[in-house]
Amino acid sequence: MIVREKIGLIERNEECPDTLIVLQHQPVYTMGTGSSLEYLNFDIKNAPFDVYRTERGGEVTYHGPGQLIMYPIINLRNHKMDLHWYLRELEEVVIRVLSATFSIKASRIEGLTGVWVGDQKLAAIGIKVSQWIAYHGLALNVTTDLEPFNLIVPCGIRNRKVGSIKGLLGEACLLNGHTDAKAHHFDYSQLIDITSQSLIREFSEVFQLQIQQRSVPILEFLMKKPES
């Protein structure tokens, strides 16, 4: 609905401000417009969670509690009408969050979309653009249960892992000889709030936007069940 409203504003030559939604989903697998069922390691008729085909690009991924979803609904006319630029800027937001908030050095991998720490993918990105309004967005694993990823080939990329901020902080504690999260100055129960605020802050910096926060009803993007 928000996307349709923004397209309507553009068609009427009215001002079209950007919107940023940050939330968590209940456990669900989502597939892109052209996603292949071959990347599902289960029978679609007996799926462990609901499976939906969405309008975004990319292959299958998992969303669930502990994973922050950032849905920018952004008018690229106000920024740069270049999809490659937009994808790189979304990656930059996550890279800055990991560095500034958690001292985690993340990077891009040439030819792949997303944000990585070593061979672990922490953030997946999939977008859809209509009349230069970009929507859908990115998913960042914070305290996510990673087991559901084992039932798919995440984003269609084989032989690479999926990671989370919590997992990397735990590894850092062990490497430094500590056994609890407090040694790393983070309480795992607060990681979602800390990361959410950092995402909003870094997004506003990267895209040079002034954020006005407010609570909104849960947004349901257009989804449909894939054909079996």
Render pLDDT for 130-150 as a digit per residue (tens, 0 to 9).
Answer: 999 999 999 999 999 999 999
Catalytic site residue 173?
no
Three-state SS string across the chain, please?
CHHHHHHHHHHCCCCCCCEEEEECCCCEEEECCCCCHHHECCCHHHCCCEEEEECCCCCCEEECCCEEEEEEEEEHHHCCCCHHHHHHHHHHHHHHHHHHHHCCCCECCCCCCCEEECCEEEEEEEEEEECCEEEEEEEEECCCCCHHHHHECHHHCCCCEECCHHHHHHHHHHHCCCCCHHHHCCCHHHHHHHHHHHHHHHHHHHCCCCCCCCCCCCCCCCEECCCC
Mean pLDDT of the chain: 89
pLDDT at 218 over 90: no
- Percent of the chain exceeding pLDDT 90 equals 75
pLDDT at 31 over 90: yes
Q: Looking at residues 98-120, what average pLDDT do you find?
A: 96
Confidence of residue 226 (pLDDT cuts 50, 70, 90): low
The answer, yes or no, to whether residue 211 has pLDDT greater than 90, is no
Q: How confident is the model at residue 10 (pLDDT cuts 50, 70, 90)?
A: confident
Predicted confidence (pLDDT) at residue 118 exceeds the cutoff of 90: yes
Residue tagged active-site, from 3, 90, 95, 155: 155
